[in-house]
Amino acid sequence: QLVKKKGLNYIGKKQREEKETIKSGNKEKEEAVVLAQQILLTWLIEEKNIFESVAKYVSPSDFSDDFYKRVAGIFWAQMEEHEANPAKIIDNFQDEDEHKKVAALFNSPLINQNLTMQEMEKAVNDALLIIKRNSLEMKSRTTTDIMELQNIIKEQAKLKTLHISLS
């Protein structure tokens, strides 16, 4: 009886530890996705000439963070009107913290690093892949339609060959 009780306690403890590891792994993944969204928006706002290349593969609906999804939506709408204006993006946010967060996208240290075209291309492609993979993963978890799931799987396969050239 005591052995069973001790054994169950050990198994229960092991399962709790595994769940905590998974939770911390998920948190790290979420942070990486949010950072990728921030990086991609920063590059798009700073280097507007890459927008069309990126917009072929990702849209505001692919952004998982509500704040960055909103910024992306405003920016995409402006780019479709050929009128990207950072001040107008900031004007859409009333909260002071949100103002600072949007302003940080325009004044990111990423921009001032004098990256080569190859380094910038790698950063944009990495961010794009992280965002798109996460978006497709989220869609695959929530869909109940088999045709939609097949389309998601096809899109996931296409990601393996995805590369945007900035030159």
Tokens 């798109």 belong to residue: 132
Which residues, 6 or more positions from 65, have their beta carbon under 8 angstroms from its beta carbon?
33, 34, 37
Tell me which residues of the chain have a pLDDT lower than 70: 1-26, 108-113
Q: What is the pLDDT of residues 11-53, one digit of tens each?
A: 445 445 555 544 555 677 788 888 899 888 988 888 888 888 8
What pLDDT shows up at residue 9? 46
